[in-house]
Structure formats: structure tokens, C-alpha cells
Amino acid sequence: MAIILGLESSCDETAAAIVRSDRTILSHALAGQEDHHRAFGGVVPEIAARAHAELMTPLVETALADAGMTLHDVDAIAATAGPGLIGGVMVGLVTAKALAMASGKPLIAVNHLEGHALSPRLVDADLSFPYLLLLVSGGHCQLLRVNGVGDYNRLATTIDDAVGEAFDKTAKILGLGFPGGPAVERAAALGNAKNVPLPRPLKGADEPHFSFAGLKSAVLRAHETGQYKVEDIAASFQQAVIDCLYDRIRYTLDRIDAPAALVVAGGVAANVPIRNMLEGLAASRGMRFVAPPLWLCTDNGVMIAWAGAERFAMGLTDGLDFVARPRWPLDPNAAPARGAGVKA
């Protein structure tokens, strides 16, 4: 059985965790940086990188102490090597390289998106390849066929904003604070989703992709009229997102040989109404629905350690010369979607 230390620092969570290949989480240390960024209404890359540099070593020490281990008990050191804010990614990757060099243990460079993509397999031992994955985070909205470790087919992606981005911008427009996703979900629970007419971008379109930029602009216009309660706008926005996701996934499901399971991962997977919609959609298609527990959806070290364990089991380790990658698509062969030049 392998024991993997995993480091995460690609956005605004600094985290270190130790996971065993039998799916036991031995420790899990995480420090959010919300307080550092709140005054700016979003993540400031330079501030994030400095905070990662301060927090990473103490968190690694905490993760080792909580597991009752030293570096010698670990079989490999995994770290997010991209995609993400490059300053932060480099902090985690350089720390992992130093630990690997000092201990003589192998380095595993993990794609952050693969961390999200494989995390459902940590909590569900029966989830085998292939599965259909909706990956929804602050930077991505993709539908992927997960064939195996390191083997993905991107079936659809956003042509403009990511879903998490739309939640964050909506929160900012409505003055709900930062981080935006959970704030919008809380406000939405108090509002009426039928009260504000908002568009469903690309609903019914004869292509598989997603779009959220128009929805965000419509939220801004609705708010500026001064006619609607913030809670009603939040609820109507969240319902529009749900309707779009449902319609777009259904489009793809109608055209593929669907795998046995529909899986959701990434920060937006923590949204309970979105999870409920996906569960219903999966059931209507005779598919199993798998979602990580809420705490495992947003960025953390456990998913990086687990992706490291999956790669280690296949003999996939990396050289200390591995270069951090700010962009790193899971399916490098995917045809570019129209408009999607800047998003992986």
C-alpha cells in the first residue's frame, strides 16, 4: 500500500494532505485565504502567491504530525503543477520538489483538474472507468468522458465564462460578498426563482457547449432596474444555471453511448440544487450518480494526494525538472470550441 503526500496551491486554498492507496485519508490540512482577498472582491494572484509561500511549509508539517509520520514514511510527494495562478502553483511544486530531493522520494506532478476528476473515486470504490464527468469550477465548465487515469475526452466546454465565475460575478453584482458561490446559494434559498426573467444561453442549440456570459450580463441589467429583490435575482440566476446545465448535458447524453455513471466534481459541485438536478437527470437515464462530499468539491490537498496515488499505482512519476503549467487541458486533442480560445 502506498502513502502519498499531496500539496495544493493553484488558487486561493493552501493545502497539504496524506492519503493511503486503500482510500484512507490519514490527514488533511487546509488554509483558505478569503480574508486576504475579500477587500478586493476576488483573488489577487500576487497576494495569493505570497500567502501560499507563508502557509505551505507549516501545513506540510501539520499534515505529517496529524498522520503521526515523518517524510520517511511517505512513498511519494504529489503537487498541483497546473493549471492555475502560476505564482501559487510554483510555490506548491517547488516545495514538493525540495521535499522529494531531501527525502529521495519520487515527485508526482498532478494536473489540478485531474485532482477534481478522480476525487469521486476516493470516496466511491465502485466507481470504475469510464464515467461521464461534469467538471464545474471557478475556471472551467466541461463535460468529459473519463476513460482512465490521464485519459480524457472533452465532449463539451464553455465558450465564455466558467460556471463558478458566473456565480462569483453574480455575487459581486448583488453585493453578496466573496467567495461568491456559497453566498449566491444561500441567498437563492430565500428567493423566488420565477420572479426575474433571465436567459438560458445556448439552450436548445445544436452544439454541445455551454455559455454563461450572457446570463451574467442579464443579472447586471436586472439588478440595475432596481425592481427585484436580491434573493429573487440569486434564485432566478441559479435556476437559469441549472436549466442550462440540464439542457446541455441532455444534448450530449442523447448522442453518446452513455457510461454507467454521471459524476460531478469541482467547486460548483458543492451547490446542493445543482447536485439534486444532476441526481434526477442521472436517474432518468438509468445512470448512477456520484458526487464527492461537499468539503471535497472545493480545492483541497486530499484530491491531489489521491490523484497522486492513482498515478503512483500506474508507475507514473515525474522528474524534478517538471515545469509548472499555467494552462494544462485534460484533453489536449479536443477541438477548440468557438470563442473558447482562452479557456482550457
- Binding-site residue ranges for substrate: 135-139, 168, 181, 185, 271
H runs (alpha helix) in the chain: 34-37, 45-66, 86-103, 112-123, 163-174, 180-188, 213-225, 230-253, 272-284, 294-297, 301-313
How many of the other CB atoms lie within 10 Å of CB of 37? Answer: 19
Q: What residues from 180 to 219 belong to the interface with Zn ion (CB under 5 A)?
A: none
Q: Which is nearer to Zn ion, 160 or 299 (CB)?
A: 299
Asked whether position 114 contacts ligand KG4 by CB under 6 A, the answer is no
Grid coordinates belonging to 44: 489577487
What is d(CA 176, CA 170) in angstroms, rounded to the nearest whole number?
Answer: 8
What is d(CA 309, CA 77) in angstroms, rounded to the nearest whole number?
Answer: 10
Among 60, 122, 270, 282, binds ligand KG4 (CB under 6 A): 270
Nearest C-alpha neighbor of 138 from the set 14, 249, 50, 13: 13
Query: Which does residue 168 bind out of Zn ion, ligand KG4, none, counting CB within 5 to 8 angstroms by kind?
Result: ligand KG4
The alpha carbon dihedral of 211, 187, 239, 154 has a sign of: positive
Among 87, 92, 106, 180, binds ligand KG4 (CB under 6 A): 180
Asked whether position 138 contacts ligand KG4 by CB under 6 A, the answer is yes
Among 8, 161, 185, 232, binds ligand KG4 (CB under 6 A): 185
Q: Which is nearer to ligand KG4, 130 or 266 (CB)?
A: 266
Smallest separation, CB 267 to ligand KG4 (Å): 2
Q: Which stretch binds ligand KG4 (CB under 6 A): 132-140, 203-211, 282-290, 317-325?
A: 132-140
Asked whether position 181 contacts ligand KG4 by CB under 6 A, the answer is yes
Q: Which is nearer to ligand KG4, 179 or 191 (CB)?
A: 179
Asked whether position 42 contacts ligand KG4 by CB under 6 A, the answer is no
- C-alpha pair distances (Å), 337 with each of 158, 204, 277, 331: 8, 17, 26, 13
Sheet containing 288-290, strands listed edge to edge, beginning at the edge strand earlier in sequence: 151-157, 141-148, 131-136, 261-265, 288-290
Among 137, 157, 170, 238, binds Zn ion (CB under 5 A): 137
Q: Which residues bind ligand KG4 (CB under 6 A)?
A: 11, 137-139, 164, 167-168, 179-182, 185, 266-268, 270-271, 298-299
